[in-house]
Amino acid sequence: MSAVPLDWSDLRVFLAIARAGSLGGAGRRLGQSQPTMGRRLRALEEAVGTKLFQRSSSGFSLTDEGAIMLRHAEVMEAEALSLARELTGSDGSLEGVLRLTCSDWFGRIMLTPVMAEFQRLNPAVVLELLTDARVYSLARREADLVIRIAGFDEPEVIARRLVTVDYGLYAKPGTWLPAADDGAGCPLIVMDTGFGDMPDVAWLGRTFPKAHIAARSNSRDVQAQLCAQGVGLAVLPVPLAEATAGIEKLELETDPPSRDTWLGFHRDLRHLPRLRAFVDLMVESFSSP
């Protein structure tokens, strides 16, 4: 490989292609067209004097030289992102963008009142809330604050338990009450198969072993609406169920297990005033009776 200076923007293109496996996917990540991505990749390969990817009908795969570049490019990316986080964290003003991510129902029911109060107190801060099912990376600055039911084990993440959410079993009034203790003949609305290890899925299996699955969704909001339409029984977070018209809680000997909700942010942002202020307001809001 020739000893030529490398442009960081070209390495970002290389990383995007390596992760997406295609020019189109990489272009969508960086907001550039597929021809532009192809042109920049060709220029990078000419600059280093070697092919970095094998092209095939199934996409782009790294060559041996590309694998070497990937290892070093990821280190450079980590350092660049760390620098950006620390510079952001040294900004003492309560202004700028704060990007949050959480589940759809939690954002709609639990978080929007906190966001509204925060924005009233800090009108120069733009709050951006992402509620899709994707896991956003704190290290890559895809989000500043993550709120989720799974804890954090990353050493660079500062985490704390935010709130414990109770769950219950709900149905449209007058429909699908279990005819037997084993739930025979009862339709269930459950998480999709990618979330089959969730505690409420196991609880349903133990409680109603002969019930059958009528619908699946990775969205609690969708589950609540299907329940209200009479599709079947659904385990729902109590705050969401109480905000959903047309369903009622079934009184059972045991309720589904509650879940702890956690917040996490990168340690490099611990001194960012707008992040600290939002976390403090969240903790205060969820701690209030």
Kindly report, residue by residue over 64-85, the tens digit of the pLDDT: 998 988 988 888 877 776 666 5
Structure-model confidence comparison of residues 265 and 89, the more confident one:
265
- Burial track 212-229 (b if 16+ CB lie within 10 A, e otherwise): eebbbbebbbbbbbbbbe
87-96, 100-109, 141-150, 176-185: which is most confident: 100-109
Q: 110-164 pLDDT, tens per residue? A: 999 999 999 999 999 999 999 977 777 787 778 999 999 988 888 889 999 999 9
pLDDT reported for residue 167: 96
The percent of residues above 70 in pLDDT, for the chain, comes to 90
Average pLDDT of the chain is 87
Q: What is the pLDDT confidence band of residue 92, given thresholds at 50, 70 and 90?
A: low
Q: 256-268 pLDDT, tens per residue? A: 999 999 999 999 8
- Residue 175, classified by CB atoms within 10 Å of its CB into exposed (0-12), middle (13-18) or buried (19+), is middle
pLDDT reported for residue 1: 43
The Cα diameter of the chain in Å comes to: 76
pLDDT reported for residue 73: 85
Which tokens in the block code for residue 7? 């442009």
pLDDT reported for residue 4: 55
- Residue 39, classified by CB atoms within 10 Å of its CB into exposed (0-12), middle (13-18) or buried (19+), is middle
Q: pTM of the predicted model, to two decimals?
A: 0.66
pLDDT reported for residue 84: 63
